[in-house]
Structures are given as C-alpha cells and as structure tokens.
Chain A
Amino acid sequence: MTFNRRAFIGTSAALAATLAAPMVRGQGKPRVVVIGGGAGGATAARYIAKDSKGAIDVTLIEPTRRYYTCFFSNLYLGGFKQMEDLGHSYGGLAAGGVNVVHDWAVGVDRAAKSVSLAGGGSVPYDKLILSPGIDFVEGAVEGWDLSAQNAMPHAYKAGSQTELLKAQLMAMPEGGTFAMVAPPNPYRCPPGPYERVSMVAHFLKANNPTAKIIVADPKPKFSKMGLFQEGWADHYEGMVDWIGEDFGGGNVSVDPGAMTVTIDGEVTKVDVANVIPAMKAGRIAELAGVTDGNWAPVNAADMSTKADADVYVLGDASSQGDMPKSGFSANSQAKVCANAVRGALTGSKIFPAKFSNTCWSLIATNDGVKVGATYEATPEKIAKVDGFISQTGESADLRKATYEESEGWYSGITSDMLG
C-alpha cells in the first residue's frame, strides 16, 4: 500500500483518532455509523468522509486492526502472494477523517438509533451502514460446525483460516487427497472455490504431483465453468475430480474426527478437507432485524434496507438482485450508497445509481481470466445491463495481460477503499 501526501501529513492526528473511544458529538453534525471494514464498509466510510469534507461525522466499527483481503487470498494458497501482501491497515481511513473504532458491534437499537459495542457503550447514528460480510448457515454440511473449523477449515474469511489451510496443504502426504465441499448459490466470491481448486492444484503439481483433488459440489454448474475446466485439463490433467449435483455432489457429510468425507454414500479418507458451507448475511444484520431469510433485502437505488430507510446493507450480506457477492460489487454499491447518504444528510446532489463488477481468476501461472458486467437500479432490483466473459482458447499473451490487469485492479481497489 502506498501512502499519498495528504495521508502522510494526516497520520499522527489520525492515529490519535483511531485510539480514541467513540464519543457523542454535540455539535449537531449528522452521524453515519458503518459496521464492517471490508470492501463495502471501508469504501462507504471513506467516500462519505472525503466527499462531505467534514460535514458528516463518520465512524467505522471494525474488530480487526489489520484487514486481510479475501480477494487474492487464493493466490496465497497457490504461492503467488505472501500473506503480508494481503494485509492492510486502517490508517489511511483514519487520516481521511474516519473515526475508526476497533470493537465488535453486538446490537442495533433501531428505535433509539444506536449501536452497542462488545467493549461497552454505544454509538448513536442518523444513518447506519451494515457491511458485515457472511456467516455460515448452521447445519448446512452434515457433521460440520464452527467448532470443526480448525480440523476442516473454510478459509472463507482471509487471515488465520487461510494460513491454516495452506499449512495443511503443505503437510499433505505424498499422493494424498485434498477434498473441497463447495457451497450452494449464492456464495461469496472471491475467494472463489474454483480459483481455489486451481491454486491448490498449482501448488500440488509442483510439490506433490501424485496428489488428488476431489470437489463435492451441490450445483450442476458454476461461474466460468468452461474456462476452469479447460484450464484444469490443460495444466493439471487428471488431478481434479469435480463431482457436481448430477453425480451426488450435493449429498455430502463430513467427519472431522475421522477426517472422512462421504459423497453420495461413498466414504473417502482425506488429508485436507476445505469445507465451505452455505452462507448467510453476517450476524449483525440479523440482530438489526433487517434480514429476510438468509440475506437483507435492499432497495437498488441507494442500498437502503426494505425494513428501515435509515439502515443500509452493502455487499455480500445484501439481497439486491443480479450482482455477485464480490468485493468489487461491494465497493461499487458503497459508492452509490455513499452518494445517497450524503445527499440525504447534507442536501448534496444525488446522482443516479450505476453499478459494475469484474471478477478475475487465476488458473495457473500467467493464465488469468475474467468475467464482468454493468448494472442499473430498477424498482425491483439491481439489474444486469451488459456483460462479457473471457473466452476458451485465448492466446497466452492475452491471459497474461488479464492477470497483470488483475494485479493493477488489486492496487486500485485497495487504495480506493482504504485511502
């Protein structure tokens, strides 16, 4: 991460703000509270603070002091990135005028308009933006619950889980078996399950070439399926056994004690099991009472929830229509939301919503592919307008350029989110 001039000048004051406890400000400035410092929340906080030029009091509540991106975390598994490449501080946000509070938000009182914190105390808001990411649906994979996440990691929140999965991958015996239980739709992506399969295969091909990968998938097909299957055949012939819905891939149970995975009645002893259960909105959205089923329905024009016009939900946790649950999407939605929230609180001009997304995946060294689309807000949902996808059989030069582009995007989005 690079620090620009203004961020550098502001750092010392900003650090003080980071450490200060949240306080109620009495000057009557409108208050925005953002919960969750990922691609949605960090972007919303930064843009509201930046564009309101101090007219809005912005507080970001995020428990971790260092943010590890889910995007590119598969590349860490493949050996293309180091964990420190994925880590970012919140110093840039603080320098940009956001009051960063490192604590857990444990409750939302929508009547009193305040958020309670695990460390005690509460933070009042005029507008509340929730960007909590995902949690897992209990009982989604028979035999697995969060207490099994060390034996069978999900690695779907980047950081220690990703490191654990990598350590298990490195410790696999020669010719061993890596199993993945893939999630049903809709799922957070990145870290995409199929890019992960590619990166695990890349690692094994170099370090443990007789090892096998089994993927049990409850879906009959998946995003970029043709591109991935072409890539697996080209680079990792015979290594990946993808078992889709048609072959019983959805009929799965696991035994973390015995390290077995049972697919459609067939028990397999495995060396590593990466279990990615069905997902739902991060818990604070449910506690705030803005979810319906697993996700929080929102209005496409401004990302406000159907349940409460003063509570917004961004990114993975929202149910918005056609956009995938990617960091790029969350970043895009955050900008629409920031513009609308600022307009509502200060009377600044509200421009019409525009959304876009592009997802890059790495299949092997310099073999990058991408899929993307643009979207608009309709009364019903965020609706896809136009899209594109990489083609099978593309030249090696184009695939390399696509990978390099994804690295450029990584620099772009992280500085756009965090300053």
Chain B
Amino acid sequence: MRLILQRMLAVVGLIVATASTADEFGDPKAGKKVYRKCSGCHQVGEGARHRVGPHLNGIFGRKAASHEGFKYSKAMVRAGDNGLEWHADTLDSFVENPRALTSGTRMSFPGLRKQKDRLDLIAYLRQFSDDPANIPEADPTASPVDHDLDPAILALEGDPEYGEYLSSECKTCHQSSGGDDGIPSIILWPEEDFVIAMHAYKNKKRPHPVMQMMAGRLNEEEIAALAAYFATLDNE
C-alpha cells in the first residue's frame, strides 16, 4: 500500500510540476468541510453504515447500486446494470447534478456547482477507498472529464414545436403519460437537466447503447428543442 501511495504521489508530483494551472486534484482537508453537506445522509470512515444513503467506504471502482442490503432507486440499479461505475469522473458528474447523471435517483441533493468543491470532496472520499485491487492507479488523480457543457449550449432556447415532432421518436419507449416501468419517465424535467443528460449520452459518458445512439445523432438545437418540449409536457 505504501509503495502504491508513493508511486501515486510521484505521479501527482509529475503532473503538478508540468501543469501550469492550479491544483486539479482537490484538497482532502477542504473536502472534509464540503462533505458536511453529505453527512446528513451518508457515513464514511471506520464503522460507517448505511443510513438514508449508502456508506461511502470503498466507493472508487464500485459498480453503482451494488451494496447488498441497501435499497436503491430503480434508476440507480439500472445505471449500475448498464455499466455505471464510480470513479473520479463519474462521481464528479453525479455530485455536480445527481439527476442529470441518473434520472430518478433518490438522492435529493441539488448538486455542487463549483468544480473546486467537487474536486475537494472527491479527494476526501478517495481517502476511504484504499483497496488497491479496486483502484486503478490513475483513478484518484484523473482529472474530471470535461462534462461542463459550454454555457452557450445550455443557453440555447429550444423550439417546442420542433421538439414535439422529434419527441415522437422518444415516445415509442418513454411514455408521454410519465409512466415508468423498465424505461424511465422523461417528462417535466428541468430543461437544463435534460440537456446535460442528453449530452452525456451523446458524448458516451452515460452508459446505455440505445440512448447513446439516439442522442448521438441529435444536434444541440434538437436536444434543446426536446428539452423545451418535455419540460412542459403535462400528462396529455
């Protein structure tokens, strides 16, 4: 373990030495403060147990929704089955906006918008994931994938009429009534969540082959149009 830590530190040192920007890997001490926002529901560290949320020991490299004995939302179970694993990049996306990564998660947390907070938090949590077998060496030091959408994309105003036409393709599987059995509901989402989620599929960050394919051929305007349409779709 010590050897691995030393090697990791060496890697960190190397990157810090060559990177001109500020620390990209987060400060675990600052992360402990950020973690207070989580501690109402999650325990971490020695003796941590499941509370409202699952405990967070050993989370790096763990398949989503894989703790026996914790009752996850259907959405999180599905995400795990589809291949979602917790690493620095996926944790970063999730903590930024839980519903955008996993629609229907029961984690009612608005998300950490500041990248520094997220990096610090992840650095803190990393300290409780010390099983070398589970942790690719790059994991704690990998910088988050750039999932921060260009604000210009988020600012795009969608054409709901176009969205309605495009939506017919979604509605073969996603019920316009909002029904949710086997396939999640996509109505009445905040537009921003919808746009972030669709771009996450488009960029193949969210793991689901059908959605990656469907989102993959939608352009920015089309995703905005769908977001605008579904955001206001009251059960027709």
Contacts and interface: CB of A to CB of B under 8 A. Distances in A.
Interface in A1-41: 2, 4-6
Given A401-B82, A405-B183, A413-B173, A349 B209 contact: no
5 contacts: A354-B217, A372-B209, A408-B180, A415-B179, A416-B175
Nearest to A413: B172
Contact of B182 (A51, A351, A404): A404
Interface in B70-119: 77-78, 80-83
A358 B212 CA distance: 13
Nearest to B218: A354
Contacts of A113: none
Contacts of A356: 169, 172, 213-214
The 5 A-B residue pairs whose C-beta atoms are closest, nearest first, are: A408-B182, A408-B183, A401-B81, A388-B209, A335-B168
A397 B83 CA distance: 10
A385 interface: yes
A401 B165 contact: no
Interface residues of A, number: 40
Nearest to B212: A388
A332 B81 contact: no
Interface of A: 2, 4-6, 47, 51, 328, 331-332, 335, 339, 349, 351, 354, 356, 358, 370, 372-374, 385-388, 395, 397-398, 400-401, 404-409, 411-413, 415-416
Looking at A388, A395, A411, which has the most chain B CB atoms within 10 Å of its CB?
A411
Given A388-B209, A416-B171, A4 B235 contact: yes
Contacts of A332: 169, 172
A335 B169 CA distance: 8
A407 B182 contact: yes
Interface of B: 77-78, 80-83, 161-162, 164-166, 168-169, 171-177, 179-183, 209-210, 212-214, 216-217, 235-236
A186 to B, nearest CB: 21
A415 B213 contact: no
B169 A416 contact: no
Contacts of A415: 175-177, 179
Given A335-B169, A411-B175, A386 B213 contact: yes
Contact of A412 (B82, B174, B213, B217): B174
A385 B173 contact: no
Given A351-B162, A386-B213, A398 B175 contact: no
A2 B177 contact: yes
A336 B212 CA distance: 22
Contacts of B171: 412, 416
Looking at A328, A358, A400, A406, which has the most chain B CB atoms within 10 Å of its CB?
A358
A2 B183 CA distance: 16
Given A335-B169, A349-B161, A407 B210 contact: no
Nearest to A390: B209
Given A5-B235, A332-B169, A335-B168, A411 B213 contact: no
Contacts of A387: 213
Nearest to B78: A401
A16 B164 CA distance: 30
B126 to A, nearest CB: 26
A372 B213 contact: yes
B213 A408 contact: no
A404 B78 CA distance: 10
Given A356-B169, A372-B213, A401-B81, 4 more contacts: A335-B168, A385-B217, A412-B175, A416-B175
Contacts of A409: 172-173, 182-183
A385 B169 CA distance: 15
Given A331-B172, A412-B175, A374 B162 contact: no
Nearest to A396: B81
Given A5-B235, A332-B169, A411 B81 contact: no
B183 A4 contact: no
A333 to B, nearest CB: 11
Contacts of A411: 175, 179, 181-183
A407 B179 CA distance: 12
Contacts of A370: 210
Contacts of B162: 351
Contact of B183 (A398, A400, A412): A412
A406 B169 contact: no
Contacts of B209: 372, 388
A374 B216 CA distance: 10
Nearest to A354: B169
A181 B180 CA distance: 38
Given A339-B165, A398-B82, A388 B213 contact: yes
Nearest to A338: B168
A205 to B, nearest CB: 25
Contacts of B177: 2, 4, 415
Nearest to A405: B182
Nearest to B216: A386
A274 to B, nearest CB: 29
Contacts of B181: 404, 407-408, 411
Given A5-B235, A332-B172, A406 B182 contact: yes
A6 B166 CA distance: 23
B172 A416 contact: yes
Nearest to B81: A401
Contacts of A406: 182
B210 A388 contact: yes
Given A4-B177, A401-B82, A407-B182, A351 B210 contact: no
A113 B37 CA distance: 69
Contacts of B217: 354, 374, 385-386
Nearest to A417: B172
Looking at B77, B80, B81, which has the most chain A CB atoms within 10 Å of its CB?
B81
A328 B213 contact: no
Nearest to B177: A4
